[in-house]
Structure 1
Amino acid sequence: MGLRRLCLIFCRLLGCFLLLGRSTAVSNAEILVLRHEVAVLRRQIERPRLSWADRAVLSALARHLPPVLRRHRLVTPGTLLTWHRRLVRWKWGQTPTGPGRPPLAEETVALIQRLARENPTWGYVRIQGELRRLGHRVAAATIRRVLRRSGLPPAPQRASQQTWRTFLRSQAHTLLACDFMHVETVFLRRLYVLFAMEIKTRRVHVLGVTARPTGAWVTQLARNLLMDLGDRGGCFRFLIRDRDSKFTAAFDAVFAGNGTAVIPTPPQSPWSNAFAERWIRTARAECTDRLLITGERHLRAVLTTYAEHYNTGRAHRSLGLRAPDDHPSVIPLPAAVVRRRQLLGGLLNEYHTTPPQRLLHPQETPSSAA
C-alpha cells in the first residue's frame, strides 16, 4: 500500500510540472471544462465512493485551496477529520476478539465426536472425565454444544440407536450363525447345504447336504454341531438364524439346553445375518460356481474340502489377513522355499513356507548333519 501511495504522489507531481509549461489561457480553459464535467457528474451520482488513494490526494491538496473553493469540494473538513481518525485507529488498533472463551481446537472437537460415537452409553460428564485423563480440560456444557452441532444425541438416545452391525461386533465372541445354501447340480437338481459359522473367528462348519431337508434332519445336525464343538459350545450365548420353517421348536430346544438363545432375524432381512450370507457368496464365487456338481456325495466332498481351506488356508480382511485357525500371536518368518498345494484339482491353491535345506557334503550323513 505504501508503494502505491508513493506512485500516486509521483504521478501527481509529474502532472504539476507539466502544467507549469502551459499558458494561463489554456489552464483556465481546462479548469472551466473540468468544473463543468464535475457539475454534470454531481447531477448523476448522489454520493460518490472514494478509495483510500482518492482520500489521501484530496486531503493533501485541500489545504492549498482558498476557503471559498473548499466549500464546493466533494468532501468537507469534517470528512477529512473523520478520515484522519480512521487512519489513527487503523494504525494503533488491535485485532478485535469476540467475547467469551476462545473456541476449541479442531483436534479436541474431533476427539469429543469420536468418544461419543465409539461409546454410545457415555454421557457428557463421562466424556469430560475421559478427556481430562487424556490431558484436555473441557466443560460438560461445551461437550454438549459440540455434540449438538455435530448432530449426536445424548447418551440414552445414542445407546437406543444400536444397529445390527454394532450388535454383531460387540457380541461376536458369543455368536453363532447358521443358514441354508442351495446348489444346482448338472442334472438340474437342487441340493441344500446347512452350515454354521463362528462369528468371532469366521470358522465355518458344513453340517450336511441333502435334497429334501426336514425339521428332524436339521435338529439332528444341530446336535452333531454341539458334539463337535465340545467344551467350546458353552461359550456361545446366541444363535442367529432366519425364519425358515425347517428351523423348528425342537431345533431351538437343542441350543436352549446348551444355554444358547436363538435369535430369529426379521422377515425378509438377509442383512441381519450378513456374515452367513457373505460366506454363501464367497463359496459360490470361489468354489461351486466353478465346478459341475453331480450329486450329494460330490457336493459334500467339495464343500468339506473348501471349508477346510476356508478355515486354515484363506486370508480374511476382518482377521488381519489371517486364516481363522491361525494363531494371532504367531508371525511366520520368511523362508527361502514357498510351496504350493493344489485343492479340488487345482481350483484352489494354498501356499506354505518351508525352511531351506542345507546341502550335505559327500562325506556327511543325514544323522551327522542333524
Structure 2
Amino acid sequence: MDFLTVPTVTFRSLYVFVVLSLDRRRIVHVNVTTHPTAEWTAMQLTQAFPFDTAPRFITRDRDGICGDVVCRAIANLGSEELVIAARSPWQNGYCERVVGTLKRECLNHVIVLNENHPRRILKSYLEYYRETRPHLGLAKDTPARREVEPPELGAAQRRPMAGGLHSRYYRAAA
C-alpha cells in the first residue's frame, strides 16, 4: 500500500491510495481523497479486502498517516504488517513501481479538475492495466491472464482505452 499525490487545476493536491497484490501485480484497490487520515486509510484497507481475502502480510512505509488506527485495522484483517525502513522506498519496490506507472502512463497526461475526476480516470485506466497491459515480471502476461489470439481469428482491431491514452488490440473475424 502507498500514497501518491496528484495536482489539480486549482493547484490543490489530491492523494491517491493504492493497494497492490504482489502475486500477479494486481492493483486491488484505489481511492482518492483531499485529506487522508488514519481512519480513512483504515476504512480503505477494510474495503480492499472484504470477506477474509486479506493477504498474510501488508507492506507499508513509515508515513505519519499510518498510526495506531491503521495498525489495528491491519491486525483486524488478520494480516501481519511489514514496515519498511525509513527513507527506503526500494523495500516496497513493486508498489513504488506501480505508483510511477500510474503517474507516467495515466495521471501525468490529464489535467485533474476535482476529487471525482481522478476516480473516473483511474477506473478506466485500471481496466486497461488489469486486462491489456503486459507486464515483464509476468512473462508479458496481464494480471488478469489473457489468451494469445492466433492470426487465423481475423484482422487486428483497435479499441481505445483509458480515455484514448492507451489501446487494446484484438482479432476480429472479417
The two structures have a TM-score, normalised by structure 2, of: 0.92
Higher strand fraction: Structure 1 or Structure 2? 2
| Partner Cα distance (2:26, 2:96) in 1 | 14
Larger radius of gyration: 1
1:292 is matched with which residue: 111, 117, 127?
111
| Partner Cα distance (2:128, 2:141) in 1 | 12
Kindly state the Cα deviation for residue 325 of structure 1 after the two structures are TM-superposed.
0.2
2:166 is matched with which residue: 326, 331, 348?
348
| Partner Cα distance (1:336, 1:353) in 2 | 5
Render the CA deviation track for 1:168-212: whole Å, top value 9, x for unaligned: xxxxxxxxxx00010111111100000100111000134310111
Structure 2 residue matching 1:183: 3-state secondary structure: strand
Structure 2 residue matching 1:243: 3-state secondary structure: coil
| Partner Cα distance (1:305, 1:312) in 2 | 11
Kindly state the Cα deviation for residue 343 of structure 1 after the two structures are TM-superposed.
2.2
Kindly state the Cα deviation for residue 214 of structure 1 after the two structures are TM-superposed.
0.7
Q: Counterpart of 1:253?
A: 72
Letter in 1 for 2:149: P
Percent of paired sites with the same residue: 30
Whether the 8 Å contact between 1:206 and 1:303 is mirrored in structure 2 is no
Q: Counterpart of 2:37?
A: 214
Kindly state the Cα deviation for residue 347 of structure 1 after the two structures are TM-superposed.
1.3
| Partner Cα distance (2:102, 2:14) in 1 | 15
Q: How many residues align?
A: 173
| Partner Cα distance (2:28, 2:114) in 1 | 20
* 1:262 paired to 2:85: no
Q: Counterpart of 1:336?
A: 154
Gaps of 5+ in 1: 1-177, 358-370
- Flag the structure with more relative contact order, 1 or 2, with Cα contacts below 8 A and sequence separation at least 6: 2
Letter in 2 for 1:341: R
Q: Counterpart of 1:192?
A: 15
Kindly state the Cα deviation for residue 299 of structure 1 after the two structures are TM-superposed.
0.9
**After TM superposition, which residue ranges in structure 1, 4 or more long, deviate above 6 angstroms?**
none
Letter in 1 for 2:154: A
| Partner Cα distance (1:180, 1:265) in 2 | 14
Render the CA deviation track for 1:294-333: whole Å, top value 9, x for unaligned: 1111111111111121111100001011110015xx4433
Q: Counterpart of 1:106?
A: none
Whether the 8 Å contact between 1:205 and 1:307 is mirrored in structure 2 is no
Whether the 8 Å contact between 2:29 and 2:48 is mirrored in structure 1 is no
Q: Counterpart of 1:241?
A: 60
| Partner Cα distance (1:190, 1:257) in 2 | 31
Gaps of 5+ in 2: none
Letter in 1 for 2:165: L
Kindly state the Cα deviation for residue 348 of structure 1 after the two structures are TM-superposed.
1.3
Q: Counterpart of 2:99?
A: 280
Kindly state the Cα deviation for residue 280 of structure 1 after the two structures are TM-superposed.
1.2
| Partner Cα distance (1:345, 1:239) in 2 | 32
RMSD of aligned Cα (Å): 1.6
